[in-house]
Amino acid sequence: MINYKVFIFTYNFPHLKTIKICQELILKNIKIEYIIAAPFKKLPQYSDWSPFKKKKYNIISISEFAKSNNIPYLICDHNNSNKISKLIKKNESNIGIIGGARILNIEIIKLFRYGIINYHPGKIPETSGLDSFYWMLEKNVSPSVTAHFINYKVDEGEEILNLEVLIEKDDTLDNIYEKVNNVQFKTHSIICDYLKDGKLFVKKKLIRPNKNLPMNNLQRKQAINKFQKWKNIFSIN
């Protein structure tokens, strides 16, 4: 039986995915050894354009959440190998989970004996990268969520499991986007069972021959135009 000691990567601002990941760990009595939060940074290649209705969630900041649950918390760039290495050794953390993260370098990844888990909202390698939802439509890929151990390439590594997202004919774009997010949390719940029981993960090598580049606004809009045709293929009724 493995004694997993969990280390969380996230951002230093309110982040629903991270809150839900941490809540599930706490619910299943899995101790979070440390939370490392990267400072806010506007990504130059990322656009604010989105076809989805912006929902407002009344959530506290990650720092407040950590404080209220007695979890050690530090604002630190995710590529700071020296500082992160010291924290890992001090807390004997042996597995990482990404709530949200910048690209982690190989030195950081190698620090974790059992690796770092990421939840990707799509099938890998077809929907790798930031624009996974749009690539799903553009490439006509079935909706799913992939849990995998990361390596030095974006959205590659080793797959742990892939869960399908069930689509119905009356689903809207927003419904499906929300369903994909919810399946991420379902996937995490399954991973938590492995962590709690101290099970060794069964892994399958992922190959990502080509990297999906971030889309521009026009490319995203063109992908959205394929939504109805895509839904007709993958809906269950």
What number is the average pLDDT over the span 2-28? 95
Asked whether the predicted pLDDT for residue 47 surpasses 70, the reply is no
Asked whether the predicted pLDDT for residue 48 surpasses 80, the reply is no
Sign of CA dihedral 178, 180, 184, 185: positive
Q: What pLDDT is attached to residue 194?
A: 95
Above 60 in pLDDT, residue 46?
Answer: no
How is residue 36 written in tokens?
């490392």
- With contact defined as beta carbons under 8 Å apart, do 93 and 74 qualify? no
Mean pLDDT value across the chain? 91
The DSSP bridge partners found for residue 38 are: 11
Which pLDDT band, with edges at 50, 70 and 90, does 51 fall under?
A: confident
Closest CA to 161 of 126, 202, 198, 199: 202
Where along the chain do its domains lie? 6-234
Question: Confidence class of residue 207 from pLDDT cuts 50, 70 and 90?
Answer: confident
CB 48 within 8 A of CB 214: no
Q: CA-to-CA distance for 5 and 96, rounded, in angstroms? A: 8
* pLDDT (0 to 100) of residue 43: 59
b/e per residue 123-160 (b: at least 16 CB within 10 A): bbbbbbbbbbbbbbbbeebebbbbbbbbbeebbbbebb
Q: How confident is the model at residue 21 (pLDDT cuts 50, 70, 90)?
A: very high
Please write the tens of the pLDDT for every residue from 95-123: 999 999 878 889 999 999 999 999 999 99
CATH topology of domain 6-234: Rossmann fold (3.40.50)
| Banded pLDDT at 208 (limits 50, 70, 90) | confident
Averaged pLDDT for residues 58-78: 92
Q: What is the DSSP string of 42-107?
A: --TT-----SSPPPP-----HHHHHHHTT--EEE--TT-HHHHHHHHHHHT--EEEESS--PPPHH
Q: Are 18 and 11 in contact (CB under 8 A)?
A: yes
3-state secondary structure of 87: helix
- Residue located via tokens 């949200």: 100
Q: Tell me the percentage of the chain whose pLDDT exceeds 70.
A: 95
Cis before 14 (ω within 30): no
Question: pLDDT for 28-45, tens place per residue?
Answer: 999 999 999 999 776 555
